[in-house]
Amino acid sequence: MPSQNVLVTGAAGFLGSHLCDALLAEGHIVLGVDNLSTGNTANLDHLSSEPRFRFLEQDITRPFDPGEVDYVFNFASPASPVDYSRLGIETLRVGSAGTLNTLDIAHKYKAGYLHASTSECYGDPEVHPQVETYWGNVNPIGPRSVYDEAKRFSEAAVMAYYRYHNVNTHMVRIFNTYGPRLQANDGRVISNFMIQALNEEPLTIYGDGSQTRSFCYVSDLIDGIVRLSRSDEHAPVNIGNPDEWTILECAQEVLAVTGSSSEIVRKPLPQDDPTRRRPDITRARTLLGWDPKIPLREGLERSLEYFRSTLVVAR
């Protein structure tokens, strides 16, 4: 495909930075935007001498004009439960004003648009595995609502710009993803367990560990997202790995991969913590010819070196 001018918001984040890498590898010119509230410029350090990459520190909740762009990827938002709880109002703002501002950019320049949505739109799901046609079971006033409802508002905004302004929009519902650059201190299960295991500290299981998640390795996720961005699909598409694990099993995988002798301790389960989560990826398979390739064990092995390096920095 010919080289495009691409805007990536949330570029200094875990997924945003991997997306920038994938787009640059395809020959595109990338403007990465981030206000660094949860992003980290270290995720972009390796691009400092890349002439096709430029970074702009910018809060997307304020209107801005990046100049002519062919495509907008909207990946800006605090995303871990710890971060969006700490930054509740900012999360609501970026998922509302921020999304509208980036949609305005796509509208103005007749650019394509892909929005990073989330499995949190399904809340604590009564339908299992989650299909895109399920409307979800979200507590609109609970502690997770700042994230869940901001993301649900964003989906409504994206559909409106598609319907009313004919913007070429796409939406991915992202399920739990892990890999190098997952922020070491953002409290997510894989980063917590990997770091605890490498430090020979107890692994903290919230609740009884029977709740489930389905973990996708980052390169698989980015591959699915790039495919979706080129498709004709405007409705949401789940991208995630349908291999479902209890949190206890996940802890055991981490112990096996790290060779750690850490014990397991129990902590209280946070309010509204979804009891199960697993994507139905039939749509991604049929529409995009996409399937995740990397099983949890292999993805954790690939992430080991990164998590080790974060320990060195922390000390």
- Residue closer to ligand UDP (CB basis): 65 or 263: 263
Residue with tokens 């909207």: 74
- Residue closer to ligand UDP (CB basis): 101 or 211: 211
The two beta strands, 212-214 and 168-174, are: unpaired
Q: How far is the CB of 187 from ligand UDP (least distance, A)?
A: 6
- Residue closer to ligand UDP (CB basis): 249 or 273: 273
Q: Establish whether 122 is a catalytic residue.
A: no
Interatomic CA distance for residues 75 and 196, integer angstroms: 28
Q: How far is the CB of 298 from ligand UDP (least distance, A)?
A: 19
For 110-147, give one letter per residue: b (16+ CB within 10 A) or e: ebbbbbbbbbbbbbbbeeebbebebebebeeeebbbbb
Q: Are the C-beta atoms of 101 and 64 separated by less than 8 Å?
A: yes
| Residue in 84, 147, 178, 217 annotated catalytic | 147
Angle at 262 between CA 260 and CA 263, to 5 degrees: 145
Q: How far is the CB of 173 from ligand UDP (least distance, A)?
A: 13
Residue with tokens 């996720």: 221
Q: How far is the CB of 146 from ligand UDP (least distance, A)?
A: 13
φ, ψ dihedrals at 36, nearest 5°: 60, 25
Q: How far is the CB of 152 from ligand UDP (least distance, A)?
A: 15
Q: Are the C-beta atoms of 249 and 210 separated by less than 8 Å?
A: no
DSSP 8-state symbol, 298: H
DSSP 8-state symbol, 69: -
- Residue closer to ligand UDP (CB basis): 37 or 80: 80
Taken as a whole, the chain contains a residue count of 315
- Residue closer to ligand UDP (CB basis): 81 or 179: 81
Torsion angle of C-alpha atoms 156, 292, 284, 289, degrees rounded to 10: 140
Give, rounded to a whole angstrom, the gap between the first and last alpha carbons of the chain: 45
Q: How far is the CB of 266 from ligand UDP (least distance, A)?
A: 9
- Residue closer to ligand UDP (CB basis): 81 or 123: 81
For 187-216, give one letter per residue: b (16+ CB within 10 A) or e: ebbbbbbbbbbbeeeebebeeebebbbbbb
Chain positions contacting ligand UDP, by CB under 6 A: 80-81, 176, 187-189, 192, 204-206, 211, 213, 247, 269-270, 273
User: Which residues are catalytic, by number?
Assistant: 147
